[in-house]
């Protein structure tokens, strides 16, 4: 298996622009998580899905952020409009039910820079 | 928000030495996990310990859990230069969410 795939790996954009980050979870995994990592705040859970349904979006910072999972093999995290404080590394992770509260598999991340 | 606080924040040792990292958390948990993150990469799961377990081993890794003190430790024995990375604890509760700690940056000098 190729693991969790994220694209793009790097994104540089100007303030006010729309940014879309993409994730393909491991085939067969039914949980998908979006995290954000910064030096100041560490690794924060933004939202997670189970069977394509958003379960908990309490970590989404504000209305500028939205996430979708139209099918089991694809999810997007969108920021509109982007701001410099959104600069961070965004990770997607997936997990399989049946492993209990087991391990999550992380993608390589998307490094977002908003100027 | 972060639940786990790890210490030390940074640790530098020589190859062959043991490395110990500690994690403290605040609320009750179902399990505690340790992850490694190499520079510029995603996190990789190392080991999981359940709340009713006190110690667990995996290769050169040894994890302990003290739920009365709300703390855990990760010991890496006979460290190698390739162990250089950041190490994070993550706590799991009644949901499928993980709350990650602040991380320990380990540098193993060859």
pLDDT digits 0-9 by tens, B89-99? 999 887 788 99
Tell me the Ramachandran region of residue B70: left when phi exceeds 0, alpha when psi lies from -120 to 50, beta otherwise.
Answer: left
What is the spatial distance between Cα A23 and Cα B107, in angstroms, rounded to a whole number? 31
Is B57 touching A (CB cutoff 8 A)?
Answer: no
Cβ contact (<8 Å) for A103 and B92? no
Q: How confident is the model at residue B7 (pLDDT cuts 50, 70, 90)?
A: confident
Please give, rounded to a whole number of angstroms, the shortest distance from the CA of A96 to a CA of chain B.
11
CA distances from B7 to A79, A82, B27 (A): 34, 34, 18
Cβ contact (<8 Å) for B98 and A104? yes
Note down pLDDT in tens along chain A; length 115 residues.
Answer: 689 999 999 999 999 999 999 999 999 999 999 999 999 889 999 999 999 999 999 999 889 999 999 999 999 999 999 999 999 999 999 998 865 567 899 999 999 999 9
- Site from B4, B90, B98 to mutate, A interface, most A CB atoms within 10 angstroms: B98
Write out chain A residues lying below 8 Å of B41, CB-based.
Answer: 108-109
């Amino acid at each position: 298996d190729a693991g969790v795939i994220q694209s793009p790996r790097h994104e540089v954009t100007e303030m006010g622009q729309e940014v879309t980050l993409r994730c393909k979870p491991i085939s067969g995994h039914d949980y998908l998580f979006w995290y954000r990592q910064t030096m100041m705040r560490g690794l924060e859970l933004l939202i997670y899905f189970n069977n394509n349904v958003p379960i908990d979006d309490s970590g989404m910072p504000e209305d500028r952020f939205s996430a979708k999972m139209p099918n089991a093999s694809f999810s997007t995290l969108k920021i509109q409009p982007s701001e410099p404080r959104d600069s961070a590394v965004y990770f997607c992770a997936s997990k399989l039910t049946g492993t209990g509260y087991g391990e999550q598999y992380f993608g390589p991340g998307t490094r977002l820079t908003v100027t | 928000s972060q639940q786990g606080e790890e210490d030390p924040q940074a640790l530098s040792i020589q190859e062959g030495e043991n490395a110990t990292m500690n994690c403290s958390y605040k609320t009750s948990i179902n399990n505690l996990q340790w992850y490694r993150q190499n520079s510029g990469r995603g996190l990789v799961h190392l080991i999981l310990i359940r709340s009713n377990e006190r110690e667990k081993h995996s290769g050169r890794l040894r994890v302990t859990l003290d739920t009365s003190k709300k703390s855990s430790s990760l010991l890496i024995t006979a460290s190698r230069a390739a162990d250089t990375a950041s190490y994070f604890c993550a706590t799991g509760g009644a949901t499928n969410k993980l709350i990650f700690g602040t991380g320990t940056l380990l540098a193993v000098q060859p």
